[in-house]
Amino acid sequence: MRDDRPVNRRNFFREGLRELLKPLGEIIEPFENALGGLSELEKAAPKPKPTPTPPAWGFLRPPGALEERQFLQTCSRCATCVNVCPAQCIKIEPGKAGGAPYIDPNVMPCVVCDGLLCMRDCPSGALVPTALGLIDMGTAVWKQELCVRSRGEDCTICIDQCPIGAVAIELRDGKIHVIEDGCIGCGVCQNYCPTNPKSIVVVPRDAMP
């Protein structure tokens, strides 16, 4: 019997408290229903679209370029690099690529000229003089399914035209193999590639995963 008393006593107080709060519950219920209906309306209402995050940078910058955001902040858009480039591969167009210098390998790639004048003459410091082997504009990526080699053709144009040579790209087991540590991302291979779309493309450094 002693064991039952605490349980019965708790039940007694619970029932009493429930009866005491019952009128209060009847008052709150309409507000809960109204709030519930409002919640349903909120769910049905179109929600504002979140601000999209900026896409990965997709522009190939001249050799020696600073990290993308710093490059855009530092570059004065003076076009010195454009004017001194012997290959005329560096472009500046208002409203494109942040208005800063970029290279479109499909039009004209960086030919890794003697002296690398764009880096040498940049007055703002956006292009930093860099040794040839340390230049990192991006990395070429071979797409086997688009390459004519997958159809039995013996094409090695991308290898033959690479200004860096075997340290950047080679034929391995009958397949095009890009050596990431050696490729500087100049875009010559992409420019010469005969397929459309290109079966080898340069992914800019700051767009690499």
Q: Give percent above pLDDT 70 in the chain.
A: 73
Q: What is the pLDDT of residue 15?
A: 57
pLDDT of residue 57: 43
Look at residue 59 and tell me if it is in a domain.
no
Local confidence band at 157 (pLDDT 50, 70, 90 cut-offs): very high
Q: Are residues 79 and 134 in the same domain?
A: yes
Cβ atoms of 56 and 207 within 8 Å: the answer is: yes
Mean pLDDT, the chain, rounded, equals: 83
Work out how many domains the chain is built from and give that number: 2
Same domain, yes or no: 78 and 41? no
Q: Each residue of 173-202: pLDDT tens digit?
A: 999 999 999 999 999 999 999 999 999 999
Q: Is residue 60 in a domain?
A: no
Q: State which amino acid sits at residue 120.
A: R
Read off the pLDDT of residues 16-30 as tens digits, 9 standing for 90 and up: 555 655 555 555 555
Whether the predicted pLDDT of 143 surpasses 70: yes
Does pLDDT of 82 surpass 80?
Answer: yes
- Model-level pTM? 0.72
* Pair 133, 168 in one domain: yes
Q: For 22-75, write each residue's pLDDT tens digit.
A: 555 555 555 445 545 444 544 455 444 333 333 344 899 999 999 999 999 999
CATH of the domain at 81: 3.30.70.20
Considering the domain architecture, whether residues 26 and 111 belong to the same structural domain is answered as no
Beta pairing, strands 169-172 & 175-178? antiparallel
Residues 115-135: tens digit of each pLDDT: 999 999 999 999 999 999 999
Contacts of 87 (CB under 8 A, 6+ apart): 108, 109, 110, 111, 113
Tell me the residue range of the domain where 174 lies.
68-207
Q: Flag whether 63 is in a domain.
A: no
Interatomic CA distance for residues 121 and 129, integer angstroms: 9
In a domain, 173, yes or no: yes
In a domain, residue 61? The reply is: no
Whether 134 and 178 share a structural domain:
yes
The tokens for 89 are 């591969």
